[in-house]
Amino acid sequence: MRAVRGGRGMSDTVVATVEEVEERRSVLFTAYDARGNREEVIVVPCEETGAKAWVNRCTHEAQRLDRGMGAAMRDGEIICPKHGSMFDACSGDCDNGEAAGTTLVSVDVTVDGDEVTLTDSNYTFAHEGEKESNDDVGPGSSSHLSF
């Protein structure tokens, strides 16, 4: 159960600790967007701020970046498991592969001490982990990268 506390005219939710994010590469949770739709969000390590959060979707083909086992990451970049496009974990920018020239959709979080708190007024925390339905898992990898 995550801690919820008031702030900024809304409820802020602690979604992870910086330690969890660093150990697991990414922390996955589900939130409701401003329209009430469920959206998966990933929190990833960022050297500049401790952690950043992004909608769990590649900008190229809506491929999930974290399929429930942690996002693939290398040298501070999130790797799309389908085509291998790499997104800077701190800026969300991609400069290679099929998604070159695009930026991941950001979700505001605040790092205070070791706590990573969802502070984006467009999202409301629903629960830890994936959306309840897995009907949008997507195709397997066609990436040229190996790990």
Confidence of residue 131 (pLDDT cuts 50, 70, 90): confident
The residue extents of the domains of the chain are 4-127
CATH number of 4-127: 2.102.10.10
Query: Does residue 132 have a pLDDT over 80?
Result: no
Confidence of residue 6 (pLDDT cuts 50, 70, 90): very low
Spell out where 18-141 has E strands.
27-32, 38-44, 52-55, 72-74, 77-79, 86-88, 106-107, 109-112, 115-118, 124-128
pLDDT for position 5: 44
pTM of the model: 0.83
